[in-house]
């Protein structure tokens, strides 16, 4: 069991440090071009695993049939992933890697809230976690009375909605299709959506841009997308969902540490306190507790 926990922590490390790579790339390449190439590399990275599973007949899950074909499921996931990643990447032009990591981690709090629409129970820990997390967000993103939220923080926060929808959508489709198949399909779909968005955003792509952002692109494509996602799949096969979420949420801590060490991103006292409150809130939301509302129990 220990090695599977280590896999999830390693995945969180790659995801967290990828925020620094994304931040560095903003000086060399546009957000849609970066994501388009990044997710294409991610798809190529896991292609051998997908082919191996397909050749062994392990490409589908044995849980009935889905009205949406696998291509449609991949397209839906790809579009949601495209939306969240685009908002995050554009936001990183205006905010720090550490702050983006903490704000993005709010999806762990948003999932149970959105789950209410699907009939899931609301627990005391969800409420406490949300209050603490949003109090921390206020300290992290607002710096004074009457001061508006930073543009980058706002975009990353908006992206949390799509990360939440992505988790819920994956939870629906993974009952019918294998995780590797969905991952490969969504990476391809996300890459296509990004490349199609480039001309509408006025972005160009040259060899010098690619070479200037080659290290961030390869790191995010190979390690954050390819290796990170594969480790997540293997780890979650043995680790309970609640514990897995807690381990994966360490990405926010890794993002702050990486931002400080690699690109000297410092946080003010209020931002540090906000990060602490968000960490406590996000962890608290995962603790099992008594349900205070359950839509399924209503008459």
Of 151, 143, 111, the residue nearest 282 (C-alpha): 111
Q: What is the pLDDT of residues 126-169, one digit of tens each?
A: 888 889 988 988 888 876 555 667 899 999 999 999 988 888 88
Indicate the pLDDT class of residue 173, thresholds 50, 70 and 90.
confident
Indicate the pLDDT class of residue 1, thresholds 50, 70 and 90.
confident
State whether residue 280 is helix, strand or coil: helix
Dist. CA 38–CA 14, nearest whole Å: 14
Tokens of 194: 């990004």
C-beta of residue 160 within 8 angstroms of C-beta of residue 113: no
Those residues whose C-beta lies under 8 Å from the C-beta of residue 211, and which sit 6 or more positions away, are none
pTM, whole model, 2 decimals? 0.87
Tokens of 166: 């992505």
Dist. CA 225–CA 104, nearest whole Å: 16
Backbone φ, ψ for residue 123 (5° rounding):
-110, 160
Q: In the prediction, which pLDDT does 299 show? A: 47
Dist. CA 199–CA 192, nearest whole Å: 13
Indicate the pLDDT class of residue 67, thresholds 50, 70 and 90.
confident
Dist. CA 293–CA 46, nearest whole Å: 41
Q: In the prediction, which pLDDT does 296 show? A: 54
- 226-235 mean pLDDT: 82
Q: In the prediction, which pLDDT does 298 show? A: 43
Domain ranges of the chain: 1-57+67-121+148-251
Give the mean pLDDT of the chain.
86
Task: Please identify which residue in the block is written with the tokens 């692109």.
Answer: 217
Strands (E), 52-187: 122-123
């Amino acid at each position: 069991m220990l090695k599977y926990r280590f896999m999830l922590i390693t995945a969180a490390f790659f995801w967290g440090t990828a925020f620094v790579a994304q931040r560095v790339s903003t000086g060399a390449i546009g957000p849609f071009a970066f994501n388009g190439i990044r997710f294409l590399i991610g798809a190529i990275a896991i292609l051998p695993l997908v082919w191996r599973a397909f050749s062994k007949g392990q490409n589908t899950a044995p849980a009935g049939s889905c009205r949406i074909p696998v291509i449609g499921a991949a397209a839906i996931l790809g579009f949601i992933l495209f939306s969240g990643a685009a908002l995050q990447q554009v936001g990183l032009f205006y905010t720090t890697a550490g702050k983006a990591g903490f704000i993005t981690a709010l999806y762990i709090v948003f999932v149970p809230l959105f789950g209410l629409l699907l009939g899931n129970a609301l627990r005391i820990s969800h409420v406490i976690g949300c209050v603490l997390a949003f109090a921390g967000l206020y300290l992290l993103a607002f710096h004074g009375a009457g001061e508006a939220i930073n543009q980058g923080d706002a975009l990353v926060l908006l992206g949390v909605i799509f990360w939440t929808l992505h988790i819920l959508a994956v939870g629906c489709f993974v009952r019918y299709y294998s995780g590797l198949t969905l991952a490969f399909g969504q990476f391809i779909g996300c890459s296509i959506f990004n490349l199609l968005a480039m001309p509408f955003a006025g972005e160009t792509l040259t060899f010098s841009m690619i070479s200037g952002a080659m290290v961030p692109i390869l790191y995010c494509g190979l390690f954050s997308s390819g290796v990170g996602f594969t480790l997540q799949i293997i780890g979650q096969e043995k680790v309970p969902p609640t514990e897995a979420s807690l381990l994966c949420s360490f990405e926010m801590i890794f993002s702050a540490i990486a931002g400080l060490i690699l690109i000297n991103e410092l946080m003010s006292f209020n931002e540090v306190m906000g990060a602490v409150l968000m960490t406590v809130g996000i962890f608290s939301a995962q603790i099992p507790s008594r349900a205070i509302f359950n839509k399924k129990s209503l008459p």
